[in-house]
Structures are given as structure tokens and as C-alpha cells.
Amino acid sequence: MLGLRLATSERPMNDEWRRVAVRPRDSVLLGISFRPRQVEAFGLGGPATLDALLEYPFELLRLGAYWDRIETTAHEFDTHELDWQLEAAERAGKKVILSLGPIKNFGYPEYYVPSHLIERPLREGTLVRPEDHASLLSAARRFISRVVIKYRSRDSVVAWQLEHEAVDPLGFEHSWRLARDFVEAELMTLRDCDPSRPVVMNGFLPTSSLVKLTQWWRTRDQGDSLATSAQLADIVGIDYYPRNALLRLGARTLYADGSGARRPGALLAALRERGGRWMVSEGQAEPWETTTVPTNPPGKSMFTCGPHHLIENYNDALSWSSQETPLYAYLFWGAEYWILRARAGDSSYLDAFRRVLNA
């Protein structure tokens, strides 16, 4: 009932991904996210990896403005890394969702506040409120303003993302959370700087009973990020990870397995009432095991995400779409891992992605 499963982590590779039927996408935009830190963790080159991915005929690319990489010191604002990523996307004719953070942004460790802006770690178990962290909020709003003003003239940027799973705890490592009014203040700044583009806010979709219960308990005082996004954002992004590892037990691993999750009917009904749109901001397409950097075992795939799961998870999301609440876009999560696998001689993840694009 809790959606728990004890299984062997590594599985022999097979060609099941060739046989899984792919749902037609109709007008749904397809894309990926690009994570420079994950590229570095894999020992890959950033420009070469991005260029290889941009050769595929998807439409939408999500890029991150990582605060601690742009403002490494108090007087610096260096966007060269983001600039070359955006220029590469534009050469390839891609549309871009630019994720601003600033406190949280996609890609581990998801927390990107520059060290010179905060004297001590955020206190565990607390809500980060504007009145208690006025200087942090002020700095975050300045960062939002500078990034938006710099890039709002670029036609390739079609939407901004504010924070990442904005009011949820920072993974399982930290229990502090941003208060809703902190995020609302950031949102006000963003809309003031650019009222013309839609704002994406995302949240993690619990797919098993255990994860749902844990998520509810940790966010019960102000609601989770999906609920907040449905009320504040123009586009709600769903982060969909049906299978993730909880605990390694000898040669086997305990997993939360929410495969074939139910349609998030309450969320979609709320969006229908206020005319909001939705997308899958992260559709699991790489393993989520007990390590933050996915392993790459020769000739094997991991339990949480083989190449056939890339297609199956996509199919799940498309089955939730309806005429009243159509799916706007689906971003596959794990493209850098596909390149790593291909460099090691296994192109099945990239080939499965190609199957979806060509369906």
C-alpha cells in the first residue's frame, strides 16, 4: 500500500525500449533541461555536450541562472556561462525557459545562494520568512531584476521559472523551507521587470502513498509547491519521478515505486478553474538511485530508470492531458546522462528519446 519495493539495483540491458508504443504528442512541446554541474560531475565538456543534445529536433530548452556562479563575489555579475548556453540554443533554433532561482534552482544541490550573502546556514525546521531574512530577500530580488532586465530582450526566452519546488524542503538533506510570502515578493519583482512573459513554478508530484504522506507532513502548514504554483504561476510545472531509491540494503535497494501514477485530477481541476496551464518540467529519464550522480554500469541499466522508462513516463503524462487542460510541454530529465551512456557505448537512452521525437 505504501508503494515500497525491494529490488536489485542493476538490471541487464535489453531492447524493451524499441517495443514500447509511443503516444502521439499532437501540439505538446518537447524538450530537456541542461545542468552544467551534472556535466562536470560526469567528466564531460559543457559546450560539446550541449551541442550534441541540440542536434535533436526538440523545441524547448530549460537553462538555469545559477546565482553562486554569476555572483561569485560581492561585486561580480558574470553571466558568460549562461550567455554561451543561450547563444547555442538560439543557433539551434530552440525556445528557452530561463530558471532564475534565486535561492533554489534545478540540478543538485538545488541551493545556489552565494556564500558571501549569507553568514550562517539557514536554520533547519524553519520557514524562511521575509521579516527574518530581509537582506537575503533584498539580494534575491536584485538578482532577479538584473537577470530579467539583461535577457528580456531575447526572443528565444519564452518564459521565466521562479525558484525550484519553491516552498518544499530542500530535498531530504535540509528541512528549512521558503515561506510563501517570501516567494510572492520575488514574484512581484519578476512581474514588474517583465509583465509580458509567463512565469513557471514547479513542484514534485508524489506518486506513492509513502511519498504523499511524507510530503503532506513536511508542508502541512502552508501547502506544497504544486498547490502554491497552481495559485501563483501562469504555468505549473510537474516534476514526475515514479521510481526513486530510499535505502541501500546489502545487494538490494528499497525503492518508492509509484509507476503508473494516477492523473493529478485535483491539480488539473484547479488549473481549469483559473485558466492556468501545466507542463512536465522534469520527466524522469535517468536513474534516481541512492547516489546524487547516477551510476553507469557497463551493459546494465538501473532499476529506477532504464531507457524504456523514458518512454513510459512520457506516456503517463500524455495520458493526463485533456481538451480542457492540455499538456503544454514535456521536459525530459537526464539528457546529460544519455550522453555519458552514449560515450560508454550505449546509445539506447538517446535512441529512445529519438523515438519519442519522431512519433
Yes or no: say if 204 and 164 are a contact pair by the CB < 8 Å rule: no
The torsion defined by the Cα of 52, 54, 58 and 63, in degrees rounded to 10, comes to 120
Closest CA to 231 of 290, 274, 199: 274
Provide the pLDDT for residue 350.
98
- Give the start-end residues of each E strand in the chain: 4-8, 10-12, 29-33, 60-64, 95-99, 127-128, 157-161, 177-178, 199-204, 235-240, 243-249, 252-257, 277-284, 300-302, 327-333
Q: What are the residues whose beta carbons fall under 8 Å from the beta carbon of 99, sequence distance 6 or more?
A: 62, 63, 64, 65, 105, 106, 160, 161, 164, 200
Handedness of CA 339, 341, 346, 352 (dihedral sign): negative
Digit-coded pLDDT (tens) for 307-336: 999 999 999 999 999 999 999 999 999 999
Yes or no: say if 314 and 332 are a contact pair by the CB < 8 Å rule: yes
Provide the pLDDT for residue 1.
61
pLDDT under 50 in the chain at which residues? none
Handedness of CA 260, 212, 229, 108 (dihedral sign): negative
Provide the pLDDT for residue 261.
86
